[in-house]
């Protein structure tokens, strides 16, 4: 014992020392490992947060850029007021023989390829103005001269389309308007369409070129007829229908060649759908008709009464869904989109 006891003492103490070292290492290892875990949890939660942030931003960016409409590209604009502060009421119209296209272009610098939208507010409606045309350049110039500033004062997002009938077959106003509707929708999802004669110039900018819940007839009176509605069901000259209203009636008939009847046909279609034509007050729905002789190639359609009798039976298959044509060119001019089209000729 006397010999073993100091050695045993040392061994015993050494055992405790080793145990102590071992315990300390285990503790140190646990501490290190748990530290890493906490760190990695922190890192992964930070990464998730960063990713979430990134996704939200990307989503926002997508939502600002993906859709082609103007609402998304300019999210900060507020809606234009219900009544534009720019309206002037009754206007002094001028028809100067010296007027040139360049003058009208110079007066309308904010119009780009026939299209305009207010810079300081979001327009309440997007409106396509469709003008059927052939050989009436001077009338078109007068109309553009008055119409562009008129529409801008109404704070509309709009574009003007002129649909030119190619060739010298009898004129077909209604079919050209069907073409205009179909072609304009290729550019933008216009919610409202104005079907506009080239020789009618609006006299009062309170006559709003916007669509209503019902089809709207904008020409209550014109200078040539003492500013009186021509007859109760008159629906010619300038009319406004939403994209859906026009689709619901299957558009205009395609078979009215020459002057007259196609507007009465559209009224019958509207009435068959139990829609009701509305009109602005007579004192604002006034137009000046630019004087002209009847064009050659647009003689009175002698068949129009016979055709009108058939409308209730044929409207479903004669209209937008049967409008065949060949687009010859689409020119994006400063003040309007010029669509030239071959619409064929009357069937004998």
List interacting residues with ligand BGC (CB under 6 A).
Answer: 230, 236, 260-261, 263-264, 304
- In the bound state with ligand BGC, the residue whose beta carbon lies nearer, of 212 and 303, is 303
Q: CA 256, 258, 264 angle in degrees (round to 5)?
A: 50
Residue 134's H or E segment, with its range, is: none
- Supply the minimum distance, in Å, between the C-beta of residue 60 and ligand BGC: 52
- In the bound state with ligand BGC, the residue whose beta carbon lies nearer, of 157 and 222, is 222
- In the bound state with ligand BGC, the residue whose beta carbon lies nearer, of 145 and 267, is 267
- Supply the minimum distance, in Å, between the C-beta of residue 305 and ligand BGC: 8
- Supply the minimum distance, in Å, between the C-beta of residue 266 and ligand BGC: 10
- In the bound state with ligand BGC, the residue whose beta carbon lies nearer, of 159 and 249, is 249
- Supply the minimum distance, in Å, between the C-beta of residue 86 and ligand BGC: 32
Question: What contacts 187, CB < 8 A, 6 or more positions away?
Answer: 159, 337
Between CA 283 and CA 218 the distance in angstroms is: 11
Distances from the Cα of 303 to the Cα of 176, 196, 260, angstroms: 19, 23, 9
Between CA 80 and CA 83 the distance in angstroms is: 8
Question: Which position's Cβ is nearest ligand BGC?
Answer: 236
Backbone torsion region of residue 258, taken as left when φ is above 0, otherwise alpha when ψ lies between -120 and 50, otherwise beta: left
Residues annotated catalytic, as ranges: 197, 199, 259, 262-263, 289, 292, 294
- Supply the minimum distance, in Å, between the C-beta of residue 125 and ligand BGC: 26
- Supply the minimum distance, in Å, between the C-beta of residue 246 and ligand BGC: 18
Helix ranges (DSSP H) in the chain: 4-65, 70-73, 101-107, 137-153, 173-187, 243-248, 262-272, 304-314
Residue 238's H or E segment, with its range, is: strand 238-242
CA nearest 263: which of 308, 223, 309, 221?
Answer: 308
174: phi then psi, degrees, rounded to nearest 5: -65, -45
- In the bound state with ligand BGC, the residue whose beta carbon lies nearer, of 104 and 200, is 200
Between CA 332 and CA 162 the distance in angstroms is: 10
- In the bound state with ligand BGC, the residue whose beta carbon lies nearer, of 117 and 264, is 264
């Amino acid at each position: 014992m006397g010999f073993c006891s100091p050695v045993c003492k040392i061994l015993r103490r050494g055992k405790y020392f080793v145990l102590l070292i071992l315990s300390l290492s285990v503790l140190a290892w646990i501490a290190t490992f748990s530290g890493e875990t906490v760190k990695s949890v922190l890192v992964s939660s930070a990464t998730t947060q960063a990713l979430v942030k990134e996704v939200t931003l990307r989503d926002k960016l997508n939502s600002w850029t993906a859709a082609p409409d103007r609402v998304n590209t300019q999210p900060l604009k507020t809606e234009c007021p219900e009544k534009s502060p720019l309206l002037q009421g009754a206007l002094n119209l001028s028809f100067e023989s010296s007027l040139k296209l360049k003058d009208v272009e110079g007066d309308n610098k904010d119009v780009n390829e026939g299209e305009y939208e207010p810079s300081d507010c979001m327009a309440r409606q997007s409106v396509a103005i469709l003008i059927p045309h052939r050989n009436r350049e001077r009338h078109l110039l007068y109309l553009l001269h008055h119409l562009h500033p008129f529409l801008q004062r109404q704070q509309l997002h709009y574009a003007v389309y002129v649909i030119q009938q190619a060739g010298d077959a009898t004129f077909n106003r209604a079919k050209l308007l069907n073409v205009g509707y179909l072609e304009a929708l290729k550019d933008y999802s216009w919610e409202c369409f104005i079907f506009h004669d080239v020789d009618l110039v609006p006299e009062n900018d309170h006559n709003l070129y916007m669509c209503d819940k019902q089809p709207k007839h904008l020409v209550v009176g014109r200078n040539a007829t003492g500013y009186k509605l021509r007859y109760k069901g008159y629906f010619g000259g300038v009319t406004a229908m939403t994209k859906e209203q026009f689709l619901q009636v299957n558009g205009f008939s395609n078979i009215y060649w020459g002057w007259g009847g196609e507007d009465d046909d559209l009224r019958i279609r509207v009435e068959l759908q139990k829609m009701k034509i509305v009109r602005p007050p007579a004192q604002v729905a006034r137009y000046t008709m630019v004087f002209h002789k009847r064009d050659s190639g647009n003689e009175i359609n002698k068949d129009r009464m016979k055709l009108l009798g058939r409308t209730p039976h044929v409207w479903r298959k004669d209209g937008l869904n049967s409008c065949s044509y060949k687009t010859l060119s689409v020119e994006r001019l400063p003040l309007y989109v010029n669509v030239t089209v071959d619409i064929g000729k009357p069937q004998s």
